[in-house]
């Protein structure tokens, strides 16, 4: 047979060279897959979620205030009782300082930092400032032994006005709990807030951290010793705004869990072991928010077993699993309902608070499970940490715009977001634009108008759509259009995790 010509062997040589180059490329490529591309800018959303808290500040605002249309307000708060109660946060779109949701907000901001602060990079300082604005106030509110000032302002009279906090002329009534009028749920939640925050500041400000923890211990003792619901003794002041419907047992378990974490004292571990069942550790309620803390306490205590190997808290993995299984679509024990667009739906009134709190617990529990190399067993259906994170991501993505309306429910994030939020300061002209006082009743003409709010409350997450994914963007609809600190607080942790996981932080 004749030898092959040079022209016929050239393609074969080129093909061999190609194979060699592919082999070299494959060998030199990194073993891991390229980082996923995020559908959202979680870092931007995180930044904005923290700026929001500056818009809710009461008191004398600092020079580095970023929400510049807000000015000083409530500078004589507490004067009626000869006590300094200047500072803290307005809970939502009104001008009242409610201690119960403010303390829960503080606890959730602290938990967000404790779990995900290491991922926050430049936002960590802002998160700690948001916490400190609350804890400085809570220290004032708990300065007297066995007394906690739990509210500033007359909610009924405040809601009869539509006025800027800077113009506030409604009574700044001061409400307190004490031995004769106990409020176990508020006291125990305040103890949780102080204890969790003490952990946040343990390395950066040891003196402040010690003060917070010392106060948390005494406040919890008061909560446990003088038991009673503040919704009974203070009903005409706190209801229907922040009545406690779940009782105070959940807060006692939650407060003890945070003190156990902050002190590592056998005292609180013994308390949890002795009282956990009577305080509702094994109840099947699957709602976590400013009123009911059971699910949060279960997840928090499961960490002590999963990560710190505290065998005595073994049962809390099961309790936490039961809560998690209730959230898993299609799981045997699922109790959750979802809108046609995929949003977790608990109730008409400010539903988004349950979306953000559940998302936080999902990514946090996924972290604990990963560290312990464990999974969740939902009636024979195995659920991995990866699945929990995927469910949380879907909820956060819906909030940020992946929904039937293609609307972000965070003000200032994305191309389309609510323009007429139920918020006095945001809806009325700012002091800079309109220095003259706006009287109590004259603001209602603006409240009922269709004009977009002149001041953007950047980062505010509103109550959200209804069970059919509808959102009318009507200012008077406080169920759907009102933002609140306790909606944003758990979202801070979830956004920190997502921003980091997509390489944005």
Task: Find, among 114, 130, 110, 137, the residue nearest to 49 by Cα.
Answer: 130
Helix H or strand E encompassing 150: strand 148-152
Q: Is 422 a catalytic residue?
A: yes
C-alpha span between 327 and 336 (Å, rounded): 5
Q: Is 482 a catalytic residue?
A: yes
Residue entry with tokens 């040079």: 6
C-alpha span between 119 and 74 (Å, rounded): 35
Selecting among 422, 423, 469, 500, the annotated active-site residue is 422
Indicate the DSSP class of residue 166: G
Task: Find, among 116, 39, 51, 95, the residue nearest to 461 by Cα.
Answer: 51
Indicate the DSSP class of residue 142: T
C-alpha span between 363 and 331 (Å, rounded): 18
Q: Is 473 a catalytic residue?
A: yes
* Distance set, CA 425 to CA 23, 49, 64, 83, 305 (Å): 64, 18, 19, 26, 45
Sequence-separated (6 or more) residues with CB below 8 Å from residue 21: none
Helices (H) and strands (E) in the chain, counts: 19, 7
* Distance set, CA 284 to CA 89, 323, 365 (Å): 32, 7, 17
Selecting among 77, 249, 291, 482, the annotated active-site residue is 482
Provide the pairing of β-strand 97-98 with 174-177: unpaired
Question: What is the rounded (10 degree) CA torsion for 205, 67, 158, 242?
Answer: -50
C-alpha span between 143 and 135 (Å, rounded): 12
For residue 28, give the 3-state DSSP assignment: helix
For residue 114, give the 3-state DSSP assignment: helix
Query: Which residues are designated catalytic?
Result: 422, 473, 482
């Amino acid at each position: 047979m004749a030898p092959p010509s040079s022209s016929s062997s050239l393609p074969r040589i080129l093909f061999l060279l190609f194979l060699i180059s592919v082999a070299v490329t494959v060998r030199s490529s990194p073993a891991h897959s390229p980082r996923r591309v995020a559908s959202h800018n979680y870092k931007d959303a995180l930044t904005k979620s923290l700026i929001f808290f500056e818009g809710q500040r009461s008191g004398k605002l600092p020079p580095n205030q970023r929400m510049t249309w807000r000015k000083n307000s409530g500078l004589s708060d507490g004067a009626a009782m000869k006590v300094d109660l200047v500072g803290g946060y307005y809970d939502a779109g009104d001008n009242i300082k409610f201690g119960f949701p403010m303390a829960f907000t503080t606890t959730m901001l602290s938990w967000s930092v404790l779990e995900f602060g290491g991922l926050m990079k430049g936002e960590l300082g802002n998160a700690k400032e948001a916490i400190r604005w609350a804890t400085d106030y809570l220290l004032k509110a708990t300065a007297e032994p066995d007394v906690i000032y739990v509210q500033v302002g007359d909610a009924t009279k405040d809601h009869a006005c539509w006025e800027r906090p800077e113009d506030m002329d409604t009574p700044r009534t001061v409400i307190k709990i004490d031995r004769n009028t106990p409020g176990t749920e508020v006291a125990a939640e305040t103890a949780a807030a102080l204890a969790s925050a003490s952990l946040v500041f343990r390395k950066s400000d040891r003196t402040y951290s010690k003060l917070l923890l010392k106060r948390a211990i005494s406040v919890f003792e008061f909560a446990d010793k003088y038991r009673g619901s503040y919704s009974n003794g203070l009903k005409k002041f706190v209801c229907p705004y922040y009545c406690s419907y779940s009782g105070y047992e959940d807060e006692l378990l939650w407060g003890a869990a945070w003190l156990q974490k902050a002190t590592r004292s056998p005292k609180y571990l013994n308390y949890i072991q002795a009282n956990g069942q009577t305080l509702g550790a094994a109840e099947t309620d699957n709602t976590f928010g400013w009123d009911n803390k059971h699910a949060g306490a279960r997840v928090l205590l499961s960490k002590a077993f999963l990560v710190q190997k505290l065998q005595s808290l073994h049962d809390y993995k099961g309790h936490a699993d039961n809560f998690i299984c209730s959230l898993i679509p299609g799981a045997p024990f699922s109790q959750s309902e979802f809108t046609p667009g995929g949003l977790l739906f608990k109730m008409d009134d400010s539903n988004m608070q349950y979306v953000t709190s559940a998302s936080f617990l999902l990514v946090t529990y996924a972290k604990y499970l990963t560290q312990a190399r464990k999974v969740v067993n939902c009636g024979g259906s195995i659920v991995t940490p990866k699945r929990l994170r995927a469910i949380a991501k879907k909820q956060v993505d819906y909030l940020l715009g992946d929904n039937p309306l293609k609307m972000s429910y965070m003000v200032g994030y994305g191309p389309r977001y609510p323009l007429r939020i139920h918020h006095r300061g945001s809806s009325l002209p700012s002091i800079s634009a309109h220095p003259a006082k706006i009287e109590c009743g004259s603001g209602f003409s603006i409240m009922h108008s269709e004009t977009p709010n002149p001041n953007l409350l950047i980062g505010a997450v509103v109550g959200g759509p209804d069970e059919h994914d509808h959102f009318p963007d009507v200012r008077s609809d406080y169920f759907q259009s009102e933002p609140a600190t306790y909606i944003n607080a758990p979202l801070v942790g979830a956004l920190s995790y997502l921003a980091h996981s997509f390489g944005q932080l």
